[in-house]
Amino acid sequence: MNEIEQIGRDHAYKLAKLQADTFRQAYSDVHSLDDIEVYCLANYTPELAEHELADKETICCFGLLNSVLSGYYILKHRDPPIPVGFSAVGLKQIYVLSSAYGSGLAQALYEHALDYAQTLESEGLWLCVSDINHRAKAFYDRLEFKSVGEGPILKVGSDHLPSSILVFKFSC
């Protein structure tokens, strides 16, 4: 059974740990262990998570699978880095642990983020995805996200990866 719960600053340690764990699992076959660790130490600390959770423009929710913390999403009230033709909210991150792959938790997290985004003055969602993250790209393809351009170069240790900006426009 999937459960989604919104979190706040008091969950910073759990968020940072979950971010690092899911990142390691998602990219373990792409990057060296050293590059992954450098990235996680620089980007997934309790201090950074607390700062992000304190931002009034950020919504973060945990996903639980059978009452076990197994995923999360972060939604940011931020415009896309390129014009997309409509107002859109940023889906900064959505990750689940590998033990939750195929469970429907990622879909439940996405639907929760989508429902929340639709309550805002927004017409859609945008996100940036690494071009080599084939699992994520296939997930967003199924959700009918469309590529609208090149994203930033993502740096993971010594690796420099191209990315794409994807958008999804809400139905009227």
Give the three-class secondary structure for 31: coil
* CATH number of 51's domain: 3.40.630.30
Does 26 score more than 80 pLDDT?
yes
Encode pLDDT of 63-122 as tens digits. 999 999 999 999 999 989 999 999 999 999 999 999 999 999 999 999 999 999 999 889
Share of the chain above pLDDT 90, in %: 91
Q: Which residues contact 105 (CB under 8 A, 6 or more apart)?
A: 2, 63, 65, 70, 71, 96
Does 172 score more than 90 pLDDT?
no
List Cα–Cα distances, 77 to 25, 104, 118, 136, in angstroms: 27, 26, 12, 22
Domain count for the chain, please give it. 1
In angstroms, rounded to a whole number, what is the distance separating the alpha carbons of residues 128 and 119? 22
- Asked if residues 36 and 156 have their Cβ atoms less than 8 Å apart, the reply is yes
pLDDT value at position 148?
A: 96
Instruction: Say what the pTM is.
Output: 0.93
Encode pLDDT of 117-148 as tens digits. 999 889 999 999 999 999 999 999 999 999 99
Pairing of strands 88-96, 124-130: parallel
In angstroms, rounded to a whole number, what is the distance separating the alpha carbons of residues 105 and 113? 12
Task: State the virtual CA torsion across 129, 130, 136, 140 in degrees, nearest 10.
Answer: 40
Q: E strands within 28-170? A: 58-65, 68-76, 88-96, 124-130, 146-150, 154-156, 159-161, 163-169
Q: Which helix (H) or strand (E) holds 34?
A: helix 33-43
Q: Which helix (H) or strand (E) holds 140?
A: helix 134-142
Residue ranges making up the domain that contains 42: 2-169
